[in-house]
């Protein structure tokens, strides 16, 4: 209806028809939440609709989070809501006034009939869109069903805040999301994992019984009041993504094109913003195909960003049980920042008092950002929480690191990070990825590394430098990254070994030899010999590379380990050899220096390592003495499908930390100091490893300190650089 009103307003000569299968006052759910950003767009698109909406809205600023007897209120969030019936009335009145033909209780003609008889067909027929299914081969829908059941209910009183309430029942954890939508009513959504829903017997209750049961469970926040439904049914949320949004003169709008979980309140927001953009592009022309293409080009990046945030949020609630044992205030901060859209810096602007209380509980001295607090890892105290992530350089000669390594690692050590990691250093010539990989299989290589560690320790006192030891496994004997990543060498390839004789890419990469008993022993001894050299070279920390499809990772993943002996089969069998290598290295590595393990917490592929497996893998390494888990993902099989996005790998670190209480290092598209502070305060990680930001700016950590006004001991500028510790003045910007 909103799209119809905008199109008719844009050109009164247009004949615009709306087919609606339901009655004029039929709707599901109760309240609609709109952001100030969305309202601003509505004001520009149609001031008349905006004026009516504004008069009908209820506004509030607070979020209440209740957890285990504690209630925390965070303010400054700026919500606005109204009832769905009121929204329908406003839009129907506007459409009628503009001359839109509204046809209620009327099924629309088939999609092809509409397309043949109209210039433009807008399919806003929801997540079950018949229009989309009629041309599914063109639209390319992907529908993902998630793990929780939820129901939309209402209470006949107005809450004074957005309320999150957790109920820990004998059947499992249940979650309430509630907010006011008019002066005397509130939307109440109750959500829980499918298995909890069944154990509690909700699968056998009708709407009335479910409402009564939910009201009893959450009686305290409801003050004993009843809940009511509106054709309410328990359902599982489905995330819908379409490869295309238009086909000929037919275009998808709102939930027919995309869905976003209700926990970030974006379904109606996205739909009305779609309508604004679509009408604007149709009005601007010049042709309909160009208008539809421009509409999708504008909206798709915004929608995909929202969907990523929504998926992060819904998964947080799916794994709610693992969050419950956090300190209550940290739990609240974690909930507020779950989608990674609200951050530490953003929340500090909205609610400085609440944010300051979280910082104090974390242990931040006055004026000290979380990232500049120290952290003890085994016998090593890191002065801050920033790690320069391992980054392969591919410039070593015969495995010997040279001046490029000295400058690269030395610059990052001078740049202020608490820990600087080498690239994956190979334990043997056969274990290289490329001819340019660095190694520790000779004393000459160890001497070259000693030169680098000595520079870091002397020129950047307080900076720790760590070595990552690994073996390429089946992913070896390839070209330098910029010459063709994962492509075999044109000549001079060396034989590969792996857990199983499976090439990385059949027909492209060579088939490795499966390690036999003698080979397993030999490789293990290569790791211990390299570890001894690393200790003599002066490294402060050693990380065992068990990720990204390299040799030890190849044992862990069921996709790459098809062995039938003691080193294959179930997870315990697949863990056996990596643990043997870890134990052997730990035995020769100095006891006062920490040892970490990098793992791929998911293979991003069907049948591969799962997040649940990752917890057990982490548990095993921690039990064997790992001081921390460096939690990465993927790169195990070439047909992976990662869910890229901001900080997209950090939930896996969060899950391991919450489940086991072991220190973790988070990686994966962490790009700003605000991200680092947010992840630390939320308790999702203990350290943050960043790669590309340190390529862009070797002094990233020092600049992060300067930008936050921090001048303490956790980020000291080297004496020769102190004159540059403040941002240089820029040109005038006053016109």
pLDDT at 678: 96
Query: Residues 150, 295, 394, 550: which is the catalytic one?
Result: 550
Q: Find the mean pLDDT for residues 497-517.
A: 96
Whether the pLDDT of residue 602 is over 60: the answer is yes
Q: How many helices (H) and strands (E) does the chain have?
A: 26, 27
Omega of the bond prior to 356 within 30 degrees of 0, cis?
no
User: Per-residue pLDDT for 75 more than 90?
Assistant: yes
- Would you say residue 735 has pLDDT above 70? no
| Per-chain mean pLDDT for the chain | 95
Of 682, 702, 698, the C-alpha closest to 334 is 682
> 162, 79 in Cβ contact below 8 A?
yes
Phi-psi region of 605 (alpha: psi -120 to 50; beta: other; left: phi over 0): beta
| Confidence band of 724 (pLDDT split at 50, 70, 90) | confident
Confidence tier at 35 by pLDDT (50, 70, 90): confident
* pLDDT for res 550: 97
pLDDT of 84 over the 60 cut: yes
Confidence band of 734 (pLDDT split at 50, 70, 90): low
Instruction: Calculate mean pLDDT across residues 704-720.
Output: 93
Residue 201: what pLDDT? 97
Let me know if 550 is a catalytic residue.
yes
Q: Quick one: average pLDDT of 480-508?
A: 94
pLDDT at residue number 341? 87
* Contacts with 702 (C-beta within 8 Å, 6 or more apart), sequence order: 415, 416, 715, 717, 721, 725
Give the pLDDT band of residue 733 (cuts 50, 70, 90). low
Pairing of strands 541-546, 464-470: parallel
Is pLDDT of 530 > 70?
yes
Question: Hey, where are the domains in the chain?
Answer: 1-322, 328-365+385-722
Segment 345-361 shows an average pLDDT of 95
- Write down the pTM of the prediction: 0.91
What percent of the chain lies above the pLDDT cut of 90? Answer: 91
User: Predicted confidence band at 732 (pLDDT cuts at 50, 70, 90)?
Assistant: low
1-322 under CATH 3.30.1490.20, yes or no: no
The arithmetic mean of pLDDT across residues 350-359, rounded, is: 96
Q: What angle do CA 387, 390, 392 make, to 5 degrees?
A: 155
* Average pLDDT over every residue of 688-699: 96
What per-residue confidence (pLDDT) applies to 370? 97
Residue appearing with tokens 């910029």: 482
Query: How crowded is residue 518: how many other Cβ atoms within 10 Å of its Cβ?
Result: 8
d(CA 74, CA 339): 16
List pLDDT tens digits, range 239-279. Answer: 999 999 999 999 999 999 999 999 987 788 899 999 999 99
Which of 181, 267, 167, 169 has its CA nearest to residue 218? 167
pLDDT surpasses 90 at 383: yes
Phi, psi of 396 (to 5 degrees): -75, 155
The token pair at 709 is 């006004």
Q: Which fold has domain 328-365+385-722?
A: TIM Barrel (3.20.20)
Per-residue pLDDT tens over the stretch 617-664: 999 999 999 999 999 999 999 999 998 888 889 999 999 999 999 999
């Amino acid at each position: 209806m909103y799209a119809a009103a905008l199109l008719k307003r844009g050109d009164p000569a247009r004949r615009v028809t709306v087919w609606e299968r339901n009655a004029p006052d039929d709707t599901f759910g109760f309240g609609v939440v709109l952001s100030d950003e969305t309202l601003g767009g509505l004001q520009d698109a149609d001031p008349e609709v905006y004026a009516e909406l504004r008069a009908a809205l209820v506004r509030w600023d607070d979020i209440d989070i209740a957890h285990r007897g504690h209630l925390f209120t965070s303010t400054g969030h700026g919500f606005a809501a109204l009832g769905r019936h009121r929204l329908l009335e406003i839009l129907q009145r506007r459409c009628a006034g503009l001359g839109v033909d509204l046809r209620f209780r009327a099924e629309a003609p088939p999609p092809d009939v509409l397309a043949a008889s109209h210039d433009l067909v807008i399919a806003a027929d929801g997540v079950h869109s018949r229009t989309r299914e009629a041309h599914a081969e063109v639209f390319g829908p992907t529908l993902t069903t998630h793990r929780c059941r939820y129901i939309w209910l209402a209470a006949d009183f107005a809450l004074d805040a957005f309320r999150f309430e957790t109920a820990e029942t004998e059947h499992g954890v249940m979650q309430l999301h509630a907010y006011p939508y008019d002066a005397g009513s509130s939307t109440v959504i109750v959500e829980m994992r499918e298995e909890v829903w069944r154990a509690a017997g909700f699968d056998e209750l009708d709407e009335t019984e479910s409402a009564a049961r939910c009201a009893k469970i959450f009686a305290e926040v409801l003050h004993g009041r009843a809940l009511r439904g509106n054709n309410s049914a328990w359902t599982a949320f489905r995330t819908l993504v379409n490869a295309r949004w238009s086909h000929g003169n037919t275009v998808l709008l709102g939930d027919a094109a995309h869905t976003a979980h209700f926990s970030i309140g974006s379904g109606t927001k996205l739909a009305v913003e779609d309508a604004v953009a679509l009408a604007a592009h149709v009005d601007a022309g010049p042709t309909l195909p160009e208008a539809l293409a421009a509409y999708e080009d504008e909206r798709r990046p915004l929608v995909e960003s929202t969907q990523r945030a929504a998926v992060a949020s819904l998964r947080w609630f799916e794994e709610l049980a693992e969050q419950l044992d956090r300190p209550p205030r940290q739990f609240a901060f974690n909930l507020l920042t779950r989608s990674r859209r609200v951050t530490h810096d953003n929340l500090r602007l909205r609610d400085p008092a609440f944010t300051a209380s979280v910082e104090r509980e974390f242990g931040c001295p006055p004026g000290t950002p979380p990232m500049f607090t120290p952290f003890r890892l085994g016998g090593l105290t890191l002065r801050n929480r920033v790690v320069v992530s391992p980054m392969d350089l591919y410039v070593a000669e015969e495995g010997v690191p040279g001046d490029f390594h000295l400058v690269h690692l030395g610059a990052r050590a001078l740049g202020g990070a608490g820990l600087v990691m080498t690239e994956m250093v190979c334990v043997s010539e056969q274990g290289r990825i490329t001819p340019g990989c660095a190694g520790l299989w000779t004393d000459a290589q160890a001497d070259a590394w000693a030169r680098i560690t000595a520079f870091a320790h002397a020129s950047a006192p307080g900076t720790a430098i760590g070595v990552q030891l690994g073996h390429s496994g089946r992913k070896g004997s390839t070209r330098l990254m910029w010459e063709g990543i994962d492509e075999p060498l044109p000549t001079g390839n060396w034989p590969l070994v792996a857990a199983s004789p499976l090439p990385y890419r059949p027909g492209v990469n060579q088939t490795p030899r499966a390690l036999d008993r003698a080979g397993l022993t030999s490789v293990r001894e290569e790791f211990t010999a390299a570890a001894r050299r690393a200790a003599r070279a002066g490294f402060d920390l050693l990380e065992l590379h068990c990720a990204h499809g390299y040799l030890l990772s190849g044992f862990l993943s069921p996709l790459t380990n098809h062995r039938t002996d003691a080193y294959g089969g179930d997870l315990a069998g697949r863990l056996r050899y990596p643990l043997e290598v870890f134990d052997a290295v730990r035995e020769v590595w100095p006891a006062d220096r920490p040892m970490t393990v990098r793992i791929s917490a998911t293979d991003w592929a069907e049948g591969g390592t799962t997040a649940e497996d990752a917890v057990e893998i982490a548990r095993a390494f921690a039990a064997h003495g790992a001081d921390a888990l460096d939690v990465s993902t993927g790169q195990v099989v070439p047909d992976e499908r990662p869910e890229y996005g901001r900080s997209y790998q950090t939930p896996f670190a969060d899950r391991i930390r919450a489940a086991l209480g072991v220190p973790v290092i988070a990686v994966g598209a962490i790009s700003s100091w605000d991200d680092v502070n947010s992840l630390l305060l939320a308790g999702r990680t203990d350290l943050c490893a960043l790669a590309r930001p340190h390529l862009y700016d070797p002094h990233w950590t020092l600049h992060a300190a300067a930008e936050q006004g921090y001048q303490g001991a956790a980020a000291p500028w080297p004496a020769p650089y102190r004159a540059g510790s403040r941002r240089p003045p820029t040109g005038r910007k006053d016109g």
